[in-house]
């Protein structure tokens, strides 16, 4: 945006909002004639970044409307497709998986994934949760991002997808500090815990890193 367009855009905002030049000049900590001179005479040629930002916030508009630059695109960022598997994890009586093939995919920003986990995208998948034993944290129909690179070797307190016999379950794992005994817990108090389990009895699929929910 050139200087004339910037001045015209600011003048339109001032007229629409019923503001006056001197009050806005004081808002910027400038002399009373500063904004009027900018708009009418082009002095200064362009607003400083601080002045532009202050005015944009005051009027509640994007800085680009007053000549700010568009955000630079991060060339290191890309979208990564994470497969949605044709399988459900039980948060209730139990769900027996029929298959574990990908039926679709959900895309995530690669930078966001790196902040979330050190695992590679190939170690991530999305499955749907069935049942209410993990509510209100995870509800029936929610989709969870499972990190299979963060499993039994780094087992710690948190929500995991586990395989118990032929059933996948999404449960909270708690490890007792004194003797490292493991409990499998449900966030819904109506479901009893499973206490004092041996680590060898658990088949950990992966840690739940994120969940998505369709708002009703």
Compute, in degrees rounded to 10, the torsion defined by CA atoms 87, 90, 94, 96: 10
**How confident is the model over 140-151, as a mean pLDDT?**
92
The tokens describing 64, both together, are: 């680009």
Over residues 28-81, the pLDDT tens digits come to: 989 999 999 999 999 998 888 889 888 988 888 888 888 877 555 555 668 899
Lowest-confidence segment of 2-6, 36-40, 167-171 by average pLDDT: 2-6
CATH fold group of domain 3-66: 434 Repressor (Amino-terminal Domain) (1.10.260)
Q: Using pLDDT thresholds of 50, 70 and 90, give the confidence band for residue 17.
A: confident
Parallel, antiparallel, or unpaired for β 194-197 and 203-212?
unpaired
pLDDT at 70: 57
Query: ∠ at Cα 140 (136, 142), nearest 5°?
Result: 90
The tokens describing 90, both together, are: 């039980």
Lowest-confidence segment of 44-53, 99-108, 125-134, 199-208 by average pLDDT: 99-108
Q: E strands, 5-121, where?
A: 79-90, 102-109
What's phi and psi for 57, nearest 5 deg? -65, -40
pLDDT at 117 over 80: yes
- Say if 3-66 and 79-212 have the same CATH topology: no
pLDDT at 167: 81
DSSP assignment, residue 207?
E
DSSP assignment, residue 73?
P
pLDDT at 166: 74
Percentage of residues in the chain having pLDDT higher than 70: 88
The interaxial angle of helices 3-17 and 34-41, nearest 10 deg, is: 130
In angstroms, the CA 105 to CA 82 distance is: 5
Q: Measured in whole angstroms, how far is the alpha carbon of residue 67 from the centre of its chain?
A: 30
For all residues of the chain together, what is the average pLDDT?
Answer: 85
Compute, in degrees rounded to 10, the torsion defined by CA atoms 8, 11, 15, 17: 110
Domain borders along the chain are 3-66, 79-212
Instruction: Tell whether domain 79-212 is in CATH 2.10.109.10.
Output: yes
Q: Using pLDDT thresholds of 50, 70 and 90, give the confidence band for residue 96.
A: very low
Burial 90-117 (b: 16+ CB within 10 A, else e): bbbebbebeeeeeeeeeebeeeebeeeb
The tokens describing 60, both together, are: 């509640």
String of DSSP letters for 56-67: HHHHT--GGGGT
pLDDT at 98 over 50: no
């Amino acid at each position: 945006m050139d200087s004339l367009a910037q001045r015209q855009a600011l003048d339109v905002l001032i007229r629409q909002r019923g503001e006056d030049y001197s009050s806005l000049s004081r808002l910027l900590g400038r002399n009373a004639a500063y904004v009027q001179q900018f708009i009418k005479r082009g002095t200064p040629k362009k607003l400083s970044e601080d002045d532009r930002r202050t005015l944009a916030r005051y009027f509640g508009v994007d800085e680009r409307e007053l000549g700010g630059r568009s955000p630079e695109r991060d060339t290191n960022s890309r979208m990564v497709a994470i497969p949605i598997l044709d399988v459900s994890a039980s948060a209730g009586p139990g769900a027996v998986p029929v298959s574990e093939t990908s039926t679709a995919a959900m895309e995530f920003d690669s930078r966001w994934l790196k902040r979330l986990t050190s695992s590679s995208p190939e170690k991530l998948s999305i499955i749907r949760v069935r049942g209410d034993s993990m509510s209100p944290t995870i509800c029936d129909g929610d989709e969870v991002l499972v990190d299979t690179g963060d499993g039994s070797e780094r087992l710690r307190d948190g929500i995991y997808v586990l395989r118990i016999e032929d059933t996948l379950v999404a449960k909270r794992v708690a490890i007792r500090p004194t003797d490292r005994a493991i409990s499998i817990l449900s966030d819904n108090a109506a479901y009893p815990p499973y206490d004092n389990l041996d680590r060898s009895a658990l088949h950990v699929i992966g840690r739940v890193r994120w969940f998505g929910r369709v708002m009703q």
